[in-house]
A and B are shown apart, each in its own frame.
Chain A
Amino acid sequence: MKRFLLLLPVLFLLSGCSGNWGWYVVDPSTSNGAANLRFLISGAYNTVLMSVTAILISITLGLLIALPGLSDKRGWRALNRTYVEIVRAVPILVLILWVYYGLPQLSGITLNVFWAGVLALALSDSAFQAEIFRAGIQSIHKGQYEAAQSISLSYRDTMRYVILPQAIRRILPALGNQLVYMLKMSSLVSVIGMQELTRKANELVVSEYRPLEIYTVLVLEYLALILIVSAGVRWLERRMNAAES
């Protein structure tokens, strides 16, 4: 039954094959089609570069925000809560527009489209990363801290050598999810003119008038990227587990 349900969208797509599809627009055997295809795929570089840069920043930021959330001191925890609650409440698209159009007026610093996109994506994701790290670190048994204290390890070394390596292993699937999420959300940066996958597709649709085929290719492009990420995360998990047995 489940398998049958999965087939439904495929049937739906095939039903249009009777003549409404115009695959010529991305047919690699024609020079125009091949050029269109190259044009569409050329956005992948920016999509990946932007997502990866943003996720690296958001992981760092998320960890820095998670740490005060684990403090015994109320003030530190309040700082963490405030950040998470505010940032989590802003829609990504709104944040992108605000960083690109609003921030220059406020700060006098103009960011180019790439860095505005990266900053907005990273900020938005950092609140979720902070929650993931907090949960991951809290899942480590308190005996680990006590053992570290009993051999006089500093807080920094305890985090670096004892707690975080264990926590990161546990949250790896969640971090992988966030990268997938980031790749998808990066499509929104097209609205400020970033030349990534979605923007390229939009531009081609305007000149070729074949939205169905072009957006289908776009869907497949994201699907391919995300399957690669999933496989990569699974490989990393296996490798980390293998190291211990």
Chain B
Amino acid sequence: MTVAAPVPAPDHTADTPPVISMRDVSKYFDDFQALKSVSFDVQKGERVVVCGPSGSGKSTLIRCINRLEAHEAGEIMVEGTTLDDTRASLDQIRGAVGMVFQQFNLFPHLTVLQNLTLGPRRVLGLSEEEARKRAMTYLERVQIPDQAEKFPRQLSGGQQQRVAIARSLCMEPRIMLFDEPTSALDPEMIAEVLEVMTELADSGMTMIVVTHEMGFARRVADRMVFMDKGEIVETGTPEAFFTAPKSQRCATFLQQILNH
């Protein structure tokens, strides 16, 4: 695996406030504690890859950031706005944060174009023409402008996931969350999705990616986060993380995932 030319990493020591800041966040599903007092900051333009065994809380972590899950304790701030149940806070934060799901979650009854224009038209108030133009721009960016009039189920998994990325980008978010975006894909389709994500990372988008694609992580991540049992066990640069993991749990996990 060749390591791509490193994109200059954002300066973590700068005293600009982080765009995402989680302080002692806890989340319970009934009696099960999915997040145990997690604290976590992300700087503007930073690319963070989160990994860990299943059930470690990594999906829950990013789903709390745009409130698909509500946290029970602690504080989450996105671009200085505290996340709570008020409409204003939700609109502010969901407007800034886009999300891509493992199962794509495209709207199956709408064409690709309609999937992309729904948000811009209903939420941002764009005209049909403006929304269409914007949608086509992003479809070109994910390299499937010729599929605009098709329905999702007529596309391959890789194409569907790229449509989902484009749908999210149409809202022009400043932060993108990826929840295992390639886990539901056939192996031959993973590359095309990772390519789009790499391109997005190169454009300077702030990204948090939950994934097991360690090649992608090495190439793109500024920082690795390893989670286990609802806690952040270890964080570090990809070099340090992959060559010399500090904790035994992380070392074991990496061994399993890299040698499978």
Partners in one complex: yes
Q: Are A146 and B118 in contact (CB under 8 A)?
A: no
Taking CB atoms, residues of chain A closer than 8 Å to B97 are 150
Q: Are B171 and A151 in contact (CB under 8 A)?
A: yes
Determine the interface band of chain B, counting residues with CB < 8 A from chain A: 20 to 34
Q: Are A150 and B68 in contact (CB under 8 A)?
A: yes
Whose C-beta in chain A lies nearest to the C-beta of B124? A152
Q: How far is the CA of A153 from the CA of B168 in the complex (A)?
A: 12
Taking CB atoms, residues of chain A closer than 8 Å to B101 are 143, 146-147, 150
Q: How far is the CA of A23 from the CA of B193 in the complex (A)?
A: 74
Q: How far is the CA of A143 from the CA of B164 in the complex (A)?
A: 12
Give the distance to chain B from A151, nearest Cβ to Cβ, in Å. Answer: 4
Query: Which of A149, A150, A153, A166 sits near B109, CB closer than 8 Å?
Result: A166
Give the distance to chain B from A143, nearest Cβ to Cβ, in Å. Answer: 4
Taking CB atoms, residues of chain A closer than 8 Å to B94 are 149-152
Residues 79-134 of B at the A interface (beta carbon under 8 Å): 91, 94-95, 97-99, 101, 103, 105-110, 118-119, 122-123
Q: Are B109 and A151 in contact (CB under 8 A)?
A: no
Query: Which of B103, B154, B171 sits near A143, CB closer than 8 Å?
Result: B103
Indicate whether B71 reaches chain A with its CB closer than 8 angstroms: no
Q: Are A165 and B109 in contact (CB under 8 A)?
A: yes
Taking CB atoms, residues of chain A closer than 8 Å to B164 are 147
Indicate whether B151 reaches chain A with its CB closer than 8 angstroms: yes
Q: How far is the CA of A136 from the CA of B97 in the complex (A)?
A: 30
Taking CB atoms, residues of chain B closer than 8 Å to A149 are 66-68, 94
Give the distance to chain B from A158, nearest Cβ to Cβ, in Å. Answer: 9
Indicate whether B167 reaches chain A with its CB closer than 8 angstroms: yes
Residues 142-179 of A at the B interface (beta carbon under 8 Å): 143-144, 146-147, 149-154, 157, 161-162, 165-166, 169
Indicate whether B153 reaches chain A with its CB closer than 8 angstroms: yes
Q: Are B105 and A153 in contact (CB under 8 A)?
A: no
Q: Are B105 and A143 in contact (CB under 8 A)?
A: yes
Q: Are B153 and A152 in contact (CB under 8 A)?
A: no
Indicate whether A208 reaches chain B with its CB closer than 8 angstroms: no
User: What 0/1 readout, one digit per residue, does chain B (158-196) give for beta carbons within 8 Å of chain A?
Assistant: 000000100110110000000000000000000000000
Taking CB atoms, residues of chain A closer than 8 Å to B105 are 141, 143-144, 146-147
Query: Which of A151, A162, A245 sits near B167, CB closer than 8 Å?
Result: A151
Indicate whether A85 reaches chain B with its CB closer than 8 angstroms: no
Q: Are B91 and A152 in contact (CB under 8 A)?
A: yes
Whose C-beta in chain B lies nearest to the C-beta of A168? B109
Q: Are A152 and B68 in contact (CB under 8 A)?
A: no
Q: Are B107 and A244 in contact (CB under 8 A)?
A: no
Whose C-beta in chain B lies nearest to the C-beta of A165? B109
Taking CB atoms, residues of chain B closer than 8 Å to A162 are 107, 118
Query: Which of B98, B110, B119 sits near A153, CB closer than 8 Å?
Result: B119
Known contacts A147-B106, A244-B109; A152/B171 CB under 8 A: yes
Taking CB atoms, residues of chain B closer than 8 Å to A165 are 109
User: What 0/1 readout, one digit per residue, does chain B (30-57) give for beta carbons within 8 Å of chain A?
Assistant: 0000000000000000000000000000
Q: Are B98 and A244 in contact (CB under 8 A)?
A: no
Query: Which of A152, A154, A244 sits near B108, CB closer than 8 Å?
Result: A244
Q: How far is the CA of A147 from the CA of B66 in the complex (A)?
A: 11
Give the distance to chain A from B260, nearest Cβ to Cβ, in Å. Answer: 27
Give the distance to chain A from B88, nearest Cβ to Cβ, in Å. Answer: 12
Taking CB atoms, residues of chain B closer than 8 Å to A150 are 66, 68, 94, 97-99, 101, 168
Taking CB atoms, residues of chain A closer than 8 Å to B153 are 244
Interface residues of chain A, those whose CB is within 8 Å of chain B, are 141, 143-144, 146-147, 149-154, 157, 161-162, 165-166, 169, 244-245
Interface residues of chain B, those whose CB is within 8 Å of chain A, are 66-68, 91, 94-95, 97-99, 101, 103, 105-110, 118-119, 122-123, 151, 153-154, 164, 167-168, 170-171
Q: List 29 A-B contacts (CB under 8 A).
A: A143-B101, A143-B103, A143-B105, A144-B105, A146-B99, A147-B105, A147-B106, A147-B107, A147-B164, A147-B167, A149-B67, A150-B66, A150-B94, A150-B97, A150-B99, A150-B168, A151-B119, A151-B123, A151-B167, A151-B168, A152-B171, A153-B118, A154-B122, A161-B110, A162-B118, A166-B107, A244-B108, A244-B151, A245-B151
The 9 closest A-B pairs by CB, nearest first: A151-B119, A147-B105, A143-B105, A150-B99, A152-B94, A152-B123, A157-B122, A165-B109, A244-B151
